[in-house]
Structure 1
C-alpha cells in the first residue's frame, strides 16, 4: 500500500482497515461512457481480485460488492469465466471476467495508486438478463455492456 496522497486516499486506507474493502463509484463520462463501481481491498484482505460492476445505481453496486466481500470473508473464491450462483438470489448466476492489464490505469486508477508497484488483479462482474443470458450470448436483453466487454 502506498502512502496516502489525499483525503480520498486516506478514506480508502481507513475503509480497508475497518471493513476490509472500499467501494469507489465512477460517474458516467461525457462521451457516453457508462458509470461503474469497483472494490479496492479485496486483493489485500481476501487474496481475491478487485471486482468492477458497470451500469448499476451506486446503492445496488455497493450492495453487490458488499455481498462479494461477505462471501470472500467466508472463504468463497472468485473464479473467472464460469457461472457463479452464490452472489445473486433467485437462481441467477454471475460471471467474472479478468480485466486486461492495459486497462487498469484508465479504469482502476485509484486501486493502481493504492497498490503501488504490486500487480493488480481485477475482474468485471457480468450480470444476466431476466432470461439468464449474458451480454456475449444471443438474445441478451439488458443494458448495453460494450464498455465492460471491451476491457476484458
Structure 2
C-alpha cells in the first residue's frame, strides 16, 4: 500500500463546514500545526498496555512522513519525536532503515516504515486531521540496554513487549498487547 502525494484534504486546507463545532482536540492540533508545523499526540500507558506518541502535521507542513514511537514515558516520546521532527525540517533525512544517533543519549534509534494497515488502529487522530488514510508513517524504535532492537533474537523482552512491529502486516505480527483489539 502506498500513500497519495496529491490533493491535501486536511482540516486546515479544506472547508468542512461549521468550524464552531470542532472537537477541542482537533482545535488544539490545528493550533499546534499552525504554530510549529506539527503536533505530537500522546497516548499514556494504561491497564491495557504501554503508551505511545505520534506526530500530526509533518506530512502537511513539510511532506515528511509522520513519526510514531512506543513504549517509553510519553513525555520522553514527545521529546524524541520533536527532536527528530526538528532535525528533519532542518534537512536531515528521515527514512526507513536509517539509524539516528544523539536523540537518546548513547542509544541509536532505528526508523522503519509502518505498514499502512496499522494506521486506523494507532493513528486515528491523524486520520481525522488528514481526513483520509493512508498517511505515511515511520516507526522510531529504541534498543535494549545492550543496543539490540526488537527483531534481534537476543534482545531483551522489554523491547519486544513495549514496541509493536508495525512494519509487519497485522496478520503477521506476533500476538500480544498490540494485537489484542484487532
TM-score relative to the length of structure 1: 0.86
Unaligned 5+ segments in structure 1 are none
RMSD: 2.0
Partners of 1:40 and 1:50 within 8 A in 2: yes
Within a 5 Å distance, the mapping from 1:45-56 to structure 2 comes to 45-56=61-72
- Tell me what 1:63 maps to: 79
**Correspondence for 1:99 among 110, 114, 117:** 114
Deviations 1:47-84 (A, max 9, x none): 21111111111211111011012101211121102323
**Correspondence for 1:143 among 128, 143, 158:** 158
**Correspondence for 1:130 among 137, 140, 145:** 145
Deviations 1:30-52 (A, max 9, x none): 4x332111111111222211111
Deviations 1:98-122 (A, max 9, x none): 2211111110000011011364001
Q: Which moved more, 1:38-47 or 1:7-16?
A: 38-47
**Correspondence for 1:81 among 84, 97, 120:** 97
Unaligned 5+ segments in structure 2 are 1-9, 168-182
Partners of 1:28 and 1:34 within 8 A in 2: yes
Work out the CA distance in 2 between the residues paired with 1:103 and 1:147.
Answer: 16
Q: How many correspondences in the alignment?
A: 150
Work out the CA distance in 2 between the residues paired with 1:141 and 1:68.
Answer: 25
Partners of 1:94 and 1:125 within 8 A in 2: yes
